[in-house]
Amino acid sequence: MHFEYEVEEMRTEKVDLTGKNQYALTCLICNYVCHDDCSCADDEDKAKCSSMDTSGNCTRCPKRCTWNKHRSCPFIIKNTTQKVKKINDYMAKKYEKATQKILKKQQILEAIDQDIKIQQKSFLEMLENINKLVNRLKKIALHPELVSVQRYIDFIITSKVKEKKYGFEARLALLYELKNCTQYRQSLEILINRVDNTRKIWQRELSHLPKKRHIKS
């Protein structure tokens, strides 16, 4: 990002005229250069300068001063304009401040992302433990306490909503996903039980059907 811009500034430059047989006829009263290319030295010859009238008064300086109020200087001061590059300090500082805020937000987001990964791993481990518990309860012919698990998850969700720590929305999403998994597990268990009950009913009905008799030929 560039904050440079160009402006034209007035610069004062001193030009040495020594040895050039050239003088800058300057009025000492008006502080004004009346003739910047004068060949008259600093003596009575100044009255013969082209900027003087026949009475010896200057026709160029503001107060029309006489020739003896002028001086032939061996240098001339010139005002020139020059393009200068400058920096907009306000915009540069504003950009730097905004950049620091962005970097700080990125660091916070990275920390939240890392925390979410840790919690996601923890939730997956919890789900794995639930699956192990379900399988174990199946073996001993008991029903898994999935309702208690769902209540526990609801309790965690409520506490996260109350805390409202930075990034809690992502954590809630993981908790809801875990809750859906447990609900899916519960639905699956219900379906398995229904299928098992249907199978038993069919077995009983088949057992009451008359057996096929063999006809002797």
Question: Higher-confidence residue: 71 or 122?
Answer: 71
| CA distance linking residue 13 with residue 26, whole number of Å | 16
Token output for 2: 């560039």
Identify the H or E element spanning 107. helix 89-139
77 and 19 belong to one structural domain: yes
Residue 217 lies in a domain: no
- Say which DSSP state 217 is in: -
- pLDDT at position 140 is 44
Residue 28 lies in a domain: yes
* Helix spans in the chain (H): 89-139, 146-163, 168-208
**Largest Cα span, the chain:** 167
> What pTM does this model have?
0.33
- Say which DSSP state 1 is in: -
The domain in which residue 186 lies consists of 109-207
Question: Higher-confidence residue: 150 or 216?
Answer: 150
Please say which residue of 41, 56, 87 terminates a domain. Answer: 87
Give 52-62 pLDDT, tens digit per residue: 999 999 999 89
174 and 116 belong to one structural domain: yes
Give 10-48 pLDDT, tens digit per residue: 777 778 888 778 888 999 999 888 998 888 877 778 888
Residue 103 lies in a domain: no
| CA distance linking residue 19 with residue 40, whole number of Å | 13
Share of residues in the chain with pLDDT > 70 (%):
58
145 and 195 belong to one structural domain: yes
What sign has the CA pseudo-torsion 32, 38, 43, 46? negative
Q: How many domains does the chain have?
A: 2
Residue 132 carries which side chain, given as an amino acid letter? Answer: K
Token output for 128: 């794995």
51 and 131 belong to one structural domain: no
Is residue 119 a contact partner of residue 173, using CB atoms and an 8 Å limit?
no
Mean pLDDT, the chain, whole residue set = 72
Is residue 181 a contact partner of residue 120, using CB atoms and an 8 Å limit?
no
